[in-house]
Amino acid sequence: MEEVQPIRDTKKIDAMKSIMKGESNYRDLLLFTLGINTGLRISDILALKWSSFLNGGKLLKAGDQLNVVEIKTKKAKTFVINKSVAEALKLYHDSLDSVNPDDPVFSSRKTADGTLKPITRIAAWQMLNRYADMVGLDEGIGTHTLRKTFGYHLYKKGVALEYIQKMLNHSSPAITLRYIGITQEQLNDIYVELNL
């Protein structure tokens, strides 16, 4: 299995989002935006139901909290929805005729019995790779790219490594650095820039 990388170039991220909006693929836009802004694993994203995004029948907005129990760790994770996620959520929600709180947010076609199932990891991978190809990203893109992109950009914005480690549930800072794709070359650049 090829190791996936974060999307380091914010212009590529913006271009992918623009294509999704331009094609009115608001489901894909929300999945992508949620992944790169929360660090949730794809299994947790695909398991979300509309009830997670509704409070008293109203759609969550920027500043509201989303609560998720991670499938892998069984740990509760609470985070505030930022403006980007809130906008993508509203676009997707408003594009639908109606939503049932028990339905998956990232639904596929109806099954023979009429129920909705979430898209598969493979479908999510195919979707991400399609948009990545369209913007010229050809290095290791996968569903885990979303989570790695989240961690990478937090690090680049100067968020303390200990916070990123905690947000990603890693056991050590070294694992987090390796995970988000910080290379020795980038670390060397930090030494050069210090120049006291």
**How far, in Å, are 36, 129, 145 from residue 17 at the CA level?**
11, 13, 15
The residue from 17, 27, 93, 147 that is catalytic is: 147
CA 19 to chain centroid, in Å, comes to: 17
Task: Specify the residue for token string 């290095």.
Answer: 139
Active site residue 72: yes
Q: Which of 92, 131, 155, 179 is catalytic?
A: 179
Cβ atoms 60, 48 nearer than 8 A: no
Please confirm, yes or no, whether 144 is among the known catalytic residues: yes
Our answer to whether residue 170 is catalytic in this structure is yes
User: Which residues lie closer than 8 Å to 39 by C-beta, 6 or more apart?
Assistant: 147, 150, 151, 167, 168
The active-site residue, picked from 49, 93, 144, 148, is: 144
Beta-carbon contacts of 194 under 8 Å, excluding residues fewer than 6 positions away, are none
Catalytic residue flag (residue 147): yes
CA 81 – CA 35 distance, rounded (Å): 12
Residues with catalytic roles: 41, 72, 144, 147, 170, 179
